[in-house]
Amino acid sequence: MEEQHDAMTTEQAAEAFAAETAYWREVRGLSKRALAAAMSFDPSYVSHVESGRHKPTEDFARRADEALGAGKAIWKRWCDYEAAKTRNGRMAPRAPQAVAEQPYASGSALVVEHDAARLDYDGRLYRLTMRRLLRNTGTEPVTRYLIRISVDRYPGEPERSNAHYRTHPLTWEELELSATCRGEAMRWEAKHDRDAFKEVWLLFENGQGRFPLYPGESVWIEYAYAVGDEKWGRWFQRAVRLPTEHLEVQLAFPAALDPVVWGTETSMTAEASPLRTAPVRRDENGTRLFSWTTSTPPLHARYRLEWRFRANGERDATHEEFR
């Protein structure tokens, strides 16, 4: 989820820019060096930006957004950074800025008590089900919740992926997005609609009434959507965008495909490294399940799981695998 931009300090805005850049770089499956080369920057520059040693610049933001096909998400973070500098009495932004949209009510502070993701694959279609236990620790009711949907069929090949989604864009019809809270269907509104990237407001309301999340309350929300394997890509990533107490991921594949899974984790200060604990595997009624959990993950941490199906006779991967 996004931060409350109206209250952002310059340092917080710079950190959000770095996190957004790292998010899109990892979605595209690029190393920092590869992204720097695609942007015609010095090989170490991306690393310095993501670690906070270099501050965001307009040129970097434009090139990174274009190279990663981020649909202006990185550019918006730069605009937020420039706006934060202006609020702090520093130099004015170099481009006209719209007023930043505040994701949640001022005075609200969301905490994710439990974040559970389950990705099912039937050999043709991926279906993701997300369940989150949200707690409002602020002073104002929360009436909407922002979610992000992004796909990349060819990680590490952004030009190929961009061309693929220009021809075969991700559509709302195929997603069949649905969401519930307290047994009530939630309305939703599109915030960004790109070929391979969507941002959606889940609203705590429907045609029968409203059910906001009041201060001190906790509530489970659940949402689900489906994407065909010609668009999904064999990876799934969780990015920690709100304070989170427990995070859980489960992958469910047909056992007949003989799936293998490996994973990496990345933070604001560390390169991608293998998950500290291996996913737990078990077979159940023709389905092979891989489960992985962690507690109190750091803000902006990213956990990425990848897989292949050995029954398809694919070339061996070079990654560490959990069988």
| Helices 10-27 + 73-87 axis angle, to 10 | 170
Burial (CB count <10 Å: 0-12, 13-18, 19+), residue 285: exposed
- Burial of 313: CB neighbours in 10 Å, binned 0-12, 13-18, 19+: exposed
Reading the chain (323 residues) residue by residue, the pLDDT tens digits are 333 334 568 887 888 898 889 888 877 878 888 899 889 888 788 988 988 888 989 999 999 988 888 878 899 889 988 988 887 764 444 444 443 444 554 455 899 999 999 999 999 999 999 999 999 998 899 999 999 999 999 988 888 988 999 999 999 999 999 999 999 999 999 988 889 989 899 999 999 999 999 999 999 999 999 999 999 999 999 999 889 999 999 999 999 999 999 999 987 666 789 999 999 999 999 999 999 999 999 988 999 999 999 997 544 433 333 33
Burial class (CB in 10 A: 0-12, 13-18, 19+), 36: buried
Letter for the amino acid at 116? Answer: A
Length of the chain: 323
In degrees and rounded to multiples of 5, residue 293 shows phi and psi of -140, 160
> HSE of 105 in the Cβ direction (CA atoms, 13 Å)?
16
Q: 12: which DSSP letter?
A: H
Distance, in Å, from the CA atom of 288 to the CA atom of 293, rounded to the nearest integer, reads 17
List the chain domain ranges.
5-87, 110-312
Class of domain 5-87: mainly alpha
Which CATH number describes the domain made up of 110-312? Answer: 2.60.40
pLDDT recorded at residue 23: 83
What pTM did the predictor assign? 0.74
